Amino acid sequence: MLCFLKGMAFVPFLLVTWSSAAFIISYVVAVLSGHVNPFLPYISDTGTTPPESGIFGFMINFSAFLGAATMYTRYKIVEKQNQTSYFSTPVFNLVSLVLGLVGCIGMGIVANFQELAVPVVHDGGALLAFVCGVVYTLLQSVISYKSCPQWNSLFTCHIRMAISAVSCAAVVPMIACASLISITKLEWNPKEKDYIYHVVSAICEWTVAFGFIFYFLTFIQDFQSVTLRISTEINDDI
């Protein structure tokens, strides 16, 4: 395990395990508390009512921080690789980082503004997180192909692009169906007219969310060769 997590590999590994735990724990607590239907609730539904709202908020906030740390480290890795052997314009990597960080801000908004309390703000944060996240994975997949075979294997590139494609295909019906739902609520009856929209959008939401998790899992090997150094300097003139 220690060999597997050498270098900075623990950062994406922690992001993947922590985020998975955040979704699963919030879901289990919400279901056991009787606050949501076990069959396909929205991810946000599992973090709306106490006590799961506190768990969800805390864990997703930390996931957003870990996501930002992972994306910045990935940015520095690509920057260094590109300096060693030029394969892509640096702007491409920078745009990817900015979009990724905006997505992390969206996650923070989702975590701190509950679905039923401030729906407009919550939905705006979710939109930022999912759309920016999907575009981030697409850009990183393109960068991976450009740096292949020197810095990435073709197999890794294919895996990243496949996850990006599935996430991209899922985010469109997720947004479309969610926008057709006339009311925001936690409990659904299959006989209701908007139920099918809820089911489709919920399936797509979970697909995109775990698509992100599996995507960051592919970063572990890249991060194994990276080290973090912190230096401290004291100015004697003060």
Domain membership of residue 228 (yes or no) is: no
Across residues 194-208, what is the average pLDDT?
94
Domain membership of residue 98 (yes or no) is: yes
Question: Model pTM greater than 0.95?
Answer: no
pLDDT for 3 beyond 60: no
Across residues 110-126, what is the average pLDDT?
91
Q: Cα–Cα distances in Å, from 129 out to 100, 101, 189?
A: 8, 9, 28
pLDDT computed for residue 4 by the predictor: 63
Domain membership of residue 145 (yes or no) is: yes
pLDDT computed for residue 2 by the predictor: 54
pLDDT computed for residue 95 by the predictor: 96
* pLDDT tens digits for range 67-101: 999 999 999 999 999 998 888 889 999 999 999 99
pLDDT computed for residue 66 by the predictor: 97
Name the average pLDDT for the chain: 91
Report the domain count for the chain.
1
Domain membership of residue 104 (yes or no) is: yes
Domain membership of residue 2 (yes or no) is: no
Across residues 189-196, what is the average pLDDT?
87
pLDDT computed for residue 115 by the predictor: 86
Mind giving me the DSSP string for the chain? -TTTTTTTTHHHHHHHHHHHHHHHHHHHHHHHTTSS-SSS--TGGGGSSTTHHHHHHHHHHHHHHHHHHHHHHHHHHHHHHHHHS--S-HHHHHHHHHHHHHHHHHHHHHHHS-TTTSHHHHHHHHHHHHHHHHHHHHHHHHHHHHTTTTTS-HHHHHHHHHHHHHHHHHHHHHHHHHHH-----S---TTSTTHHHHHHHHHHHHHHHHHHHHHHHTTHHHHTT----------TT-
Domain membership of residue 13 (yes or no) is: yes
Radius of gyration of the chain (CA): 19
Domain membership of residue 226 (yes or no) is: no
* pLDDT tens digits for range 202-222: 999 999 999 999 999 999 999
Domain membership of residue 102 (yes or no) is: yes
Give the list of residues 6+ apart from residue 1 with CB closer than 8 angstroms, or none. Answer: none
* pLDDT tens digits for range 125-180: 999 999 999 999 999 999 999 998 888 899 999 999 999 999 999 999 999 999 99
* pLDDT tens digits for range 31-70: 999 999 888 899 999 998 999 999 999 999 999 999 999 9
Across residues 14-33, what is the average pLDDT?
96
**Chain center to CA of 167:** 11
pLDDT computed for residue 88 by the predictor: 86
Domain that holds residue 122: 9-221
